[in-house]
Amino acid sequence: MMKFSCTMVGGGEDFQYVTLIAETPKQARELAAADTKKGSPRDWTAAVLERDVEGPARVISAGAREA
């Protein structure tokens, strides 16, 4: 498992972010989209923050800011 930071800018208005634990970048983007109910997984970027993190897959924190 890995810790990811996922981000998405939606329509030039809001900057969405989610920190989470997942197996792959694809799973991270899917979890971010499902948790925030914003965009589709392909709208999200996923960057690895830490490797070899204990599971299970889960969202740690999420939020939004104005762009």
Domain parsing of the chain, residue ranges: 2-66
Residues 38-66: tens digit of each pLDDT: 999 999 999 999 999 999 999 999 999 88
pLDDT above 90: residue 36: yes
Q: What is the pLDDT of residue 67?
A: 67
- How many Å apart are CA 9 and CA 3, to the nearest integer? 20
Q: Mention every residue, 6+ apart, whose C-beta is less than 8 A from residue 28.
A: 2, 4, 6, 20, 22, 44, 46
pLDDT above 90: residue 25: yes
Q: What's the whole-number average pLDDT of the chain? A: 94
Q: What is the pLDDT of residue 49?
A: 98
